[in-house]
Each structure stands twice: as C-alpha cells, then as structure tokens.
Amino acid sequence: MIFLGVDGGGTKTAFVLINAEGGILAQHETSTCYYLNVGRENSKSIIAGGIVEVCRRADIPPEAIDYSFFGLPAYGEVSADVAFLDQIPAALLNQLKYRCNNDMVCGWAASLGCQDGINIVSGTGSIAYGEHQGKTARCGGWGELFSDEGSAYWIGCNALNLFSKMSDHRLKMDILYDMIKSKYHIDIDLDINDLVFNKWQGDRTKIASVAKIAYEAAIEGDKESYKLFCTAAKELAIMVESVRKELDYSPDETTLVSFTGGVFNCGDIILDPFIHELANLNGYYRVCQPKYNPSMGAAIYAAKISGNPLAGAVLKKLSLGE
C-alpha cells in the first residue's frame, strides 16, 4: 500500500510518498498553498502540481496512491471555505481515498507518531493540538492580529515594541536595539515604521523574521529579549494545559508533549522555560523530541485513518529515514 502525506505550511508545502513497509518512495517541496495568501486558484495549482511531481519522482500514477492526508493551513478556520478545500485534491484523487484537515494535525502526528498526547506548534504562528482516547482538541491559532501568542510573529512584534521603548528611553538601550539598527540599516529610529509599514507592508513572514534577531540578542545577554522568550514559553505552556483539560486527562495521568516549528529551533532559550512552565502547572507532563517531520507525520496519519496503521517496526524504519 502507498500513502501520501502533505503538509501545507505558511511558507512551504511538503509532499512525501511512503509504502506500508516503511519505504520512502519520493519527496517534494514547493511554495505555500495557504489560500488566504496565494489565492484559491494558486492554492489548487500548487497542490495539484505537487501531487503530480511527487508521483513522477516515485514513478507511479496518482491513482496508485491508496490513501492521502492533506494538512492545510487555516482549514476549518473559515467554515464557508471547508468545502472548497476538501475538493482541491479531487482533481487528481478519488474523494474516498483522502482526507483534509488543518496542518496542526501533521505536527501532532509527526511529533508523537500518532500516539495520544499534545503537540505545540510555534512557527510563524502558534497552535496546540492533541488527541486522547479518541477525543481531539485544539487551542490558539486565531491568527496574528489578536492571537498566535508565543509564535515567531508574536516574538517579532514584541521585539519591535522593545526597540521602540529602548529608542525613546522607556527601557534601557541594550543589544537588541543596536542589532535591529544594524540589521536593517536604520539611521533614524522612526524609520523602522517606514520599513515595517511601507517596505514590508506589514508582511507576516518578514515581521516573524525579527524573532531571529531577538534570539541572537538574548543569547548575547539582552535581558529584555531573554524575558520575551520566557513570556513566549509561558504562553505556549498555557495552550498545552488548555488542551490537556479539554482532552479529559485524569489528574495524575502523564501527558506526552512534543513540539514543532521554527521557534523551537532556538533550543534551550525556549525549551527550558517551556518545560519549567509546564512543571508549574497541575498536569503531569513528559516532554519529548519530535519523532518525524510534519509531512512524514501526514503520511503516517494517512495510513492510520485509512484503517491500515503502520506497525512499530515500520515506524522505526521511517524515523531512521531508510
């Protein structure tokens, strides 16, 4: 049997084909299929083109795929658009042989290998998703305008806020201030507005990229930037705790927690306070490293929901990338 996993993120769309023996038949990566950014027709073209290309690389026709799972950004967040998103793969695939859902499911399936537990995503945006004894729950993911706490976008916005406060002496000028001026060649501090609002046009990805500067400043000893990552960790832990409550874990039951997204590439500066914040909450948490990448998680989930879950030996083989 052959399974297709598709992880549609805010910056890229990844495709992977695997078989029931744990063989990786082909992989492909292309631009984001996020329809609210690229438009409906472009989203359809990107997904269809990706299916064709990954099948070409595996030397199989699309109809040879036994089951597929498509994790699509913003799926389910605009109820009127769900029918449109559900129809996208139908251009190439039998509608009885695939399922679409939010890309948060890819992160969960990847990080925990479809085991019960909770995954927290902190990339450009943020969201928590978990499953426990057949029940599902999510928290966060309301969008960058008034949510996405603890995400790269949220950190970027708050880092820019720190810059403004350092500039007009509400806070002591520190490493972050100098780094932002140097990175963006700003001579007059107020020109940060020209950069963000005029040149960037408030672009979500570009604002999220400021989080990397905040990380570098924190590593160099900028106290406010370090506190920013601690606050981000607390927000992410609160999301996990909310999902745990929704999943009806018993008070003394251990909950597996894993993590995905670029913010966690910052390592200990986010992980240490995240683990600390979880320990301060009421639940019993065991934090573990993610097992697979999100597109592989989508393929593993495709096997599961098709009624043909992959065996432990096969999952181990996939984790080794054989």
Please state the pTM of the whole predicted model: 0.90
Q: Which two tokens stand for residue 275?
A: 């683990």
Q: Which amino acid is at 12?
A: K
Instruction: Give the number of residues written for the chain.
Output: 322
Whose tokens are 């399974």? That residue is 3
Residue 107, both tokens: 């992160």
Query: Which residue carries 């039951």 as its tokens?
Result: 253
Place of tokens 């399936």: 109
Cα separation, 113 vs 258, whole angstroms: 10
pLDDT of residue 282: 77
Total of domains in the chain:
2
Q: What is the DSSP letter of 252?
A: T
pLDDT given for residue 283 in this prediction: 75
Rounded to whole angstroms, the Cα distance separating 24 from 214 reads 37
In DSSP terms, 130 is beta-bridged to 118, 137
Residue 228 and residue 138 in one domain: yes
* Per-residue model confidence (pLDDT) at position 83: 97
Task: For residue 134, give both structure tokens.
Answer: 């057949």
C-alpha to C-alpha distance for 232 and 247, rounded to whole angstroms? 23
Angstrom distances, CA of residue 128 to CA of 123, 155, 176, 249 = 12, 17, 29, 16
C-alpha 11/C-alpha 142 separation (Å) is 18
Pair 116, 132: CB distance under 8 Å: yes
- Do 130 and 102 lie in a common domain? no
**Residue 276 shares a structural domain with residue 141:** yes
pLDDT given at position 160: 98
Q: Are residues 191 and 72 part of one domain?
A: no
- Regarding whether 217 and 176 lie in a shared domain, the answer is yes
On whether both 252 and 163 belong to a single domain, the answer is: yes
Check whether residue 175 and residue 96 sit in a common domain.
no
Q: Rounded distance, CA 159 to CA 162, Å?
A: 5
Please, where are the H alpha helices in the chain? 35-38, 40-58, 82-87, 104-112, 152-167, 175-183, 191-193, 204-208, 210-220, 223-246, 268-280, 294-305, 312-319
Question: Are 315 and 266 in a shared domain?
Answer: no
- Strand pairing partners for 254? 284
**Distance between CA atoms of residues 272 and 239, nearest Å:** 17
* pLDDT tens by residue, the chain, 322 residues: 999 999 998 779 999 999 999 999 999 999 999 999 899 999 999 999 999 999 999 999 999 999 999 999 999 999 999 999 999 999 999 999 999 999 999 999 999 999 999 999 998 889 999 999 999 999 999 988 999 999 999 999 999 999 999 999 999 999 999 999 999 999 999 999 999 999 999 998 899 999 999 999 999 999 999 999 999 999 999 999 999 999 999 988 999 999 998 999 999 999 999 999 999 997 799 999 999 999 999 999 999 999 999 999 999 999 866 5
Q: What share of the chain is helix, strand, coil (3-state, %, to 5)?
A: 50, 20, 30
Domain hosting 128: range is 114-290
d(CA 322, CA 318): 6
Q: What is the CATH number of the domain that holds 230?
A: 3.30.420.40
Assess whether 232 and 252 both reside in one domain: yes
Pair (51, 141) in one structural domain: no
Tell me which residue of 310, 217, 233 sits closest to 270, measured CA to CA. Answer: 233
139 and 266 housed in the same domain: yes
Q: Can you give the pLDDT at residue 143?
A: 86
Crossing angle for the helix pair 294-305 and 104-112, to the nearest 10 degrees: 90
Pairing verdict, β 126-132 and 135-140: antiparallel
Pair (264, 177) in one structural domain: yes
